[in-house]
Copies of this chain bind each other. A is one copy, B any other.
């Protein structure tokens, strides 16, 4: 079997390293709670007194010998590759005696594996698989930045906490934001997260820290609806189909609102770096629009192989000539500069409103497209997107004619996966 083979190979090569190493299968394959396709996670445990540089050097070399593969980076670097058709990670870590003495975050993983192996009953393994597949189906599975959902370990803890799949759903349907869960006893730290689940192997850690309120709410909703109308579509939804141009045009005519898309070339980043930066850039686009009084009704982003599409729905894409330009408080000692600047240039020269200087000025960009093309670089953007190199902005009319149907459907189609 692939698992045995890969472990045997790692152990063989481990003997050539001048430290006493442990080799341990961890993760869902070790716990027998994986959903298809399983990933193999092999950890190489170094004694805690080995310098970090030595751990990285020997750990990566060992991984490369077994997998070839590529170097990736969590907190330590590790090697990712393929072995007999399976995705495999070979991860060097420290073998610590207690999870309160971690030398890095990955050192905790073997403890998680041991905890689940010793607490999860045989019969509960399939319950974990059910709940994982449910989470996958509704789109809330994975703690990665791309998803911001439930990690595999969190799913296992939920089954331990509620006994089985159905128990977890019956509880989730009544969850409130700010819920705090424990298996044994909680820690003393309080988290601002929408859900806190104190890690039984490290009580000052929240296993649900990556979970967004949005995904928590989707899980609550799906739990309610699945309990009322169980259906395999919660586990295996139909893929979303892109709307046709005619469908998009019909929808926009009914709404009377306007679309705008900013398209950026996709920077060469891992998904864990890319998604947060795309979200920040989306925020920057929205703040650029709103600070010029455009009303943003909805927004989303889509990442394709080559591009990032930032999509917004606006109340109007063209605004009147005049806009209010807020200046400093009259009490500000430099406020005279605002007055001097606008005294002749404004449509209505500076006057006082609630203690602040205000002028009514001619809008420099009447349309959202012009505004974004010229002003977006002033907003807070993702680090690798600050230059906005290669940015293109598409107006409503352009989008109806030849816009990216996938990205537009992503915004307009509010159907849940299980409703398709």
Contacts and interface: CB of A to CB of B under 8 A. Distances in A.
Interface in A310-334: 315-316, 319-324, 329-331, 333
A282 to B, nearest CB: 13
A328 to B, nearest CB: 11
A175 B333 CA distance: 9
A355 B194 CA distance: 10
B322 A257 contact: yes
Given A352-B214, A355-B194, A319 B330 contact: no
Interface stretch (A127-135, A292-300, A381-389): A292-300
Interface in A285-303: 293, 295, 297-298
A71 interface: no
A176 interface: yes
Interface string A360-372: 1000000000000
A221 interface: yes
A44 interface: no
A21 interface: no
Contacts of A297: 322-324, 360
Contacts of A322: 254-257, 297
A216 interface: yes
B414 A349 contact: yes
Contacts of A298: 324, 353, 360
Contacts of A352: 214, 217-218, 221
Q: How many copies of this chain?
A: 2
A360 B255 contact: yes
Interface in A192-216: 194, 213-214, 216
A177 interface: yes
Nearest to A220: B330
A319 B315 contact: yes
A316 B320 contact: yes
A321 B256 contact: yes
B214 A355 contact: yes
Given A216-B355, A320-B316, A175 B331 contact: yes
Contacts of A323: 297
Given A330-B221, A331-B175, A256 B320 contact: yes
Interface in A225-253: none
B329 A217 contact: yes
A256 B319 CA distance: 8
A351 interface: yes
A351 B414 contact: yes
27 contacts: A174-B333, A176-B331, A177-B329, A177-B355, A194-B355, A213-B354, A216-B355, A217-B330, A217-B356, A220-B331, A221-B330, A255-B360, A256-B321, A257-B320, A293-B315, A297-B323, A297-B324, A297-B360, A298-B324, A298-B353, A298-B360, A315-B319, A315-B320, A316-B316, A316-B319, A349-B414, A360-B414
Report, nearest first, the 4 A-B pairs whose CB atoms are least far apart.
Answer: A256-B320, A255-B322, A351-B414, A213-B355
Given A174-B333, A177-B329, 13 more contacts: A214-B354, A217-B331, A221-B330, A254-B321, A254-B322, A255-B321, A255-B360, A293-B315, A297-B322, A297-B324, A298-B353, A315-B320, A316-B316
Interface of A: 174-177, 194, 213-214, 216-218, 220-221, 224, 254-257, 293, 295, 297-298, 315-316, 319-324, 329-331, 333, 336, 347-349, 351-356, 360, 412, 414, 416
